[in-house]
Structure 1
Amino acid sequence: MKKVLVLGGTRFFGKRLVEQLINANYDVTIATRGLTKDDFGEKVKRIVFNRDNPNSMEQLAQQSWDVVYDNICYSPNEAKEIVNVLKGKVGRFVFTSTLAVYEECKNVIEDRFNPYTYPIQYGNREDYTYAEGKKLAEAILFQQADFPVVAVRFPVVIGENDYTERLLFHVKKIWNHQELVIKNLENEMTFITEEEAGEFLNWLSTNDVTGPINACSNDVITFNELIQICEEELGIKANIVDQGEKENQSPYDTYSHTYLSNQLAKDLGFKFSNVKDEIKKLIHSYQKNLVKK
């Protein structure tokens, strides 16, 4: 039975990952700050730890692990600490990274950002942007770890448990006939659902792929297509403008200049879904909650 450690696993796609691992009959331990309750019961073991406390981190090194998933590393200092703590203790390390490591590019493939040669700097999360923190974390993991590493570069993740509520933001604006600011309706995006993100991460526990890998659903969607889907499913015409108050600006504007190629993952055998169908289901779920209110 594989022993698996998940750093962060109580919400969103991390929770979906743990569910997949449990269903695969792995010996699963989740390590969190203990702030978010989970409903896994006796199906998992638990470690309460604090990444800012080296003594607390040492708990992770009391055992050896076949696979470690790190969903909550955002800085080079955090990456350096985990590399030191788990030295000689890990068969395989899966790091949750992001499409944000790439510069603006369409249908971007993995070699557009090379963490093996990226210059290393050290610092805490507050010292860097989200994108730069992830770049530097990747660089440290690939250049300094003594265990095999794979970095999963996700695009925008959507789902009912999305605590960022970015897709819900659009649904609410349209539902309430409010102005929605989108600078360019032709900008394109890729997505992945929380369920598929969990499935993909679990899939990585069954093979020996290493290095960076993109993971996204098959559809590339323009802003215009996304809004059209919302309009069709809600039965309401959106009020779209290209300039307006910041509070009405789409939170997807930041991510709509780059979209991923998932060809490498597909070549390795993973079958992705078509996300447009999933977006429609999600909009209906949001709509039911809005009607109740």
Structure 2
Amino acid sequence: MKVLVMGGTRFVGVLAVQRLLDAGHEVSVFHRGSRQPDWTGNVRSVLGDRNNPADLARLAEGRFDTVLDLSAYTGDQTASLLAALPDVGRWVHCSTVNVVRPSPVLPWPEEIDYGPHPLWGNYAIDKIACERAIQNARAGAHSVIIRLPLVLGPLNFIPREEFVLNRILDGAQILLPGDGQAVHQYIYRDHAAEALARAVDLPGEGFDVYNVASKRCNTSLEGFVDVCAEILGRPAYTRTVGGGPTGEDRATFNNADCVFPFSNENTILAIDKAERAGLVSPFMDIREMIAAAYDALLAHPERRQWTRTDAEQRVLARLDTVEARS
């Protein structure tokens, strides 16, 4: 099968491309050329900018059977690609749990209403627009939406594990938003890549949504810190700081400036449908996931350099002020 991968040159995408090659697919990767992974197999690189209509127009020459879109972040980006490739048989889109409207009833099934999730602001709004663009443009054609929770894995480009590991290694206090007891669900990088690669071969028709996560891979924020401390064999010093899900009573969560890398809000997806479709990988203990991230951290000492986020500094200043007044 001729598969076009949009993006695919970092983190989950690199492994997804390799899985497609291993499965015998003919793979083309459309990317900007800023990274060139060392894949085992023959990959056709197509350099360009997906925001440039002329670059997208060139893709029509490839006559692809399937598109795996890993780099669509707005409805306009998705709509432009759909217009450039109207005859593709199957469309696979990598989406996020943050498109749904949060419910206190857990886990959240695929048919739950669209949000947007208020904590994720424009990111959630734009990812909803991506899904709706596919649904509107492709009518009865087969489209597969893979919704993922928080992704863990070595050398994560959002340094979730490293955020906690570095602070424990240096004996720094870790601030937990709210009470630190909200439970998150995760997916390991390799499991996400496997699911996305398998999705290109899924039978079906119409608009099909799958929630995909790693099996039995849920912890509270405090529990995540405890597992990291267990892997390191060192104590973790935590402090709950209130401030709602973000720790600062902010309306939205910001990965680049956060008190802790996860919000203090329960987020659990129902994955039964994905399990039946063969999209959920065999069980892997979260300790193994964090241990792999720690090994990668040790192998890249430059990633041991860290500073507190502005959000952490603001919260610490607030707490110091409260203590000084009491």
TM-score, normalisation: structure 1: 0.87
State how far apart, in whole Å, the 1-side matches of 2:14 and 2:301 are.
27
Q: Shift of residue 284 of structure 1?
A: 3.8
CA gap of 1:41–1:284, structure 2 versus 1, over 3 A, is: closer
CA distance in 1 between counterparts of 2:62 and 2:258 reads: 49
The whole-number CA distance in structure 1 between the counterparts of 2:258 and 2:2 is 46
Q: 2:137 aligns with which of 138, 144, 159?
A: 144
User: Which residue type is aligned with residue 234 of structure 2?
Assistant: I
Change (3 A) 1:191 1:74: same
1:214 maps to which residue?
Answer: 211
Query: Cα distance, 1:243 vs. partner?
Result: 2.1
Q: 1:262 pairs with 249, 261, 271, which one?
A: 271
1:160 to 154, 164, 175: 154
Q: Which amino acid aligns with 1:111?
A: E
SS at match of 1:111: coil
Tell me if structure 1 keeps the 8 A contact 2:194–2:279: no
Identity %: 24
CA contact (8 A) 2:215 2:280 kept: no
Determine if contact 2:191/2:280 at 8 Å carries over to the other structure: no
Q: 1:186 is aligned with what amino acid? A: Q
How does 1:225-244 map onto structure 2 within 5 Å? Answer: 225-243=223-241
Write the distance in 2 (CA, Å) between the matches of 1:257 and 1:198.
24
Report what 2:295 is aligned to. Answer: 285
Secondary structure, aligned partner of 2:180: coil
Counterpart contact for 1:191–1:275, Cα < 8 Å = no
What is the CA distance between 1:104 and its match in structure 2?
2.4
- Report whether the alignment pairs 1:194 with 2:189: yes
Change (3 A) 1:101 1:275: farther
Structure 1: state its 5+ residue gaps: 119-127
Deviations 1:228-283 (A, max 9, x none): 111111122111112299867111127x4322111110122334323424334325
The reply to whether residue 95 of structure 1 matches residue 93 of structure 2 is yes
C-alpha contact 1:108 1:260 (8 A) present in aligned 2: yes
Shift of 1:107: 1.1
| 1:249 paired residue number | 259
Q: Which amino acid aligns with 2:13?
A: G
Q: Residue 169 of structure 1 aligns with which residue?
A: 163
For the pair shown, the structure with the greater C-alpha radius of gyration is 2
* Number of equivalences: 279
Once residues 95 and 189 of structure 1 are traced to their aligned partners in structure 2, the CA distance between those partners, rounded to angstroms, is 23
CA distance in 2, matches of 1:181, 1:289: 26
1:134-186 alpha-carbon deviations (Å, 9 max, x no partner): 01110111122254211110111111131111111011111111121112321
- The CA distance in 1 between the partners of 2:125 and 2:71, in whole Å, is 15
1:46 alignment partner, SS class = strand
Summarize the Cα distance change of 1:145–1:133 in structure 2 as closer, same or farther, 3 Å threshold.
same
Partner in structure 1 of residue 123 of structure 2: 130
Q: 1:60 and 2:59 equivalent?
A: yes
Does residue 181 (structure 1) correspond to residue 175 (structure 2)? The answer is yes
Matches of 2:28 and 2:61, distance apart in 1: 12
Q: Please give the per-residue CA displacement for 1:107-155, whole angstroms capped at 9, x wherever unaligned.
A: 111111359xx9xxxxxxxxx7111100111011112225421111011
Q: TM-score, normalised by structure 2?
A: 0.79
**Aligned residue number for residue 107 of structure 1:** 107
Q: Distance in 1 between matches of 2:278 and 2:40?
A: 33
Q: Quick one: structure 1 residues 46 and 190, their matched pair in 2 at CA, closer, same or farther if it must change by over 3 Å?
A: same
CA RMSD of aligned residues (A): 2.4
